[in-house]
Amino acid sequence: MTLPPEGRVFRYRDGVTLADVSPAGRARLDALARWLQDAAYADVTDTGVDGGGVWIVRRLALRVHRFPALLDEVEVATFCSGAAPLWAERSSLVTCGGQIAAEAVAIWVHLQPDGARPMPLPAGFDAVYAPSAQGRRARARLRHPPEPPAGAPARPWRFRGADLDLAGHVNNAVYWEALEEELVAAEPRGPLDAEIEHRAAAAPGEAAVHADGAMRWITDAGGAVVATLKAQDAGSA
């Protein structure tokens, strides 16, 4: 990934603190997702482009070249890399010490204030973000298998009331904890490719994580798939 030759690039800075790391001192995936989310929110707030709707993540693809570590300073350079009438693509470079730590591409859907339906992008969006997108059309179609195969092993999971955000739904960054549960037990030895697709809003309560190869399906108490995760070593992507 390279930064666009023209157009807006917003830079957001943060640091890796005790609450962000695994026992090995590696920044967790949910911390990375939170920095990306905070950078996107800060960018939109800074522009003043507001159509009265809300933005939700539909898909986030993440390539981690090296995990930031405790006390590292992190910079997220984020820009619009594609758009469509109801959603937009945001690409981001995460750097530590001047070196690229991770790359991310996310699809954000613009919804009505109550979150019920998509609505057109805010007035003024193109004036701010179209130059960096360079006419590229963003695609929001989900790509993961929608259901786990029969007999796929499952482990119990639970979303907490503390996981809710302002919309009253489990925050996007929280879903990565289901994968982190595995990484903490067997720390990654190298680069990692991971992608999440959000299929429905989750509420607090019992859930489950079904596994099959590189795929994970998170289901709610009723058995409905709320999100899917795919993760593998970057070398095998």
Specify the DSSP element, H or E, that contains 62: strand 54-64
Q: Which residues pair with 206 in a beta bridge?
A: 158
In a domain, 141, yes or no: no
**CA–CA dist 103, 90 (Å, integer):** 11
In the structure encoding, which two tokens stand for residue 165, read together?
């955000």
Quick check: 10 pLDDT over 50?
A: yes
Residue 19 maps to a domain? yes
Question: Could you report the per-residue pLDDT of 57-107, keeping only the tens digit for each?
Answer: 999 999 999 999 999 999 999 999 999 999 999 999 999 999 999 999 999
Same domain, 92 and 27: yes
Range of the domain at 197: 154-236
Is the same domain home to 21 and 118? yes
Are residues 179 and 127 both part of a single domain?
Answer: no
% of the chain exceeding 90 in pLDDT: 89
Whether 2 is covered by a domain: the verdict is no
Answer whether residue 170 is part of any domain. Answer: yes
- 5 assigned to some structural domain: no
Are residues 18 and 102 both part of a single domain?
yes
In-domain check, residue 46? yes
Same domain for 118 and 169: no
Both 114 and 169 in one domain: the answer is: no
pTM attached to this predicted model: 0.94
Parallel, antiparallel or unpaired: strands 225-233 and 192-198: antiparallel
* Mean pLDDT for the chain overall: 95
CA 45 – CA 76 distance, rounded (Å)? 16
Give the pair of three-digit tokens for residue 79.
């820009």
pLDDT tens digits for 44-67?
Answer: 999 999 888 889 999 999 999 999
CATH code assigned at 78: 3.10.129.10
Q: What is the tens place of the pLDDT at every residue in 115-137?
A: 778 999 999 999 999 999 999 99
> Quick one: what percent of the chain has pLDDT higher than 70?
98
Predicted local confidence at residue 113, as pLDDT: 86
Cα 25 to Cα 27: distance, rounded to the nearest angstrom: 7
49 and 81 housed in the same domain: yes
Q: Please check whether residues 40 and 104 belong to one and the same domain.
A: yes
Instruction: Decide which of 101, 133, 165 is a domain's last residue.
Output: 133
Say if residue 95 is in the same domain as residue 172.
no
pLDDT grade, residue 234 (50/70/90)? low
92 and 199 fall within a common domain: no
Tell me the mean pLDDT in the region 186-203.
Answer: 94
125 and 231 inside one domain: no
Q: How many domains does the chain have?
A: 2
The answer as to whether 146 is a domain residue is no
Max intra-chain CA distance, the chain = 50
Considering the domain boundaries, does residue 78 fall inside one? yes
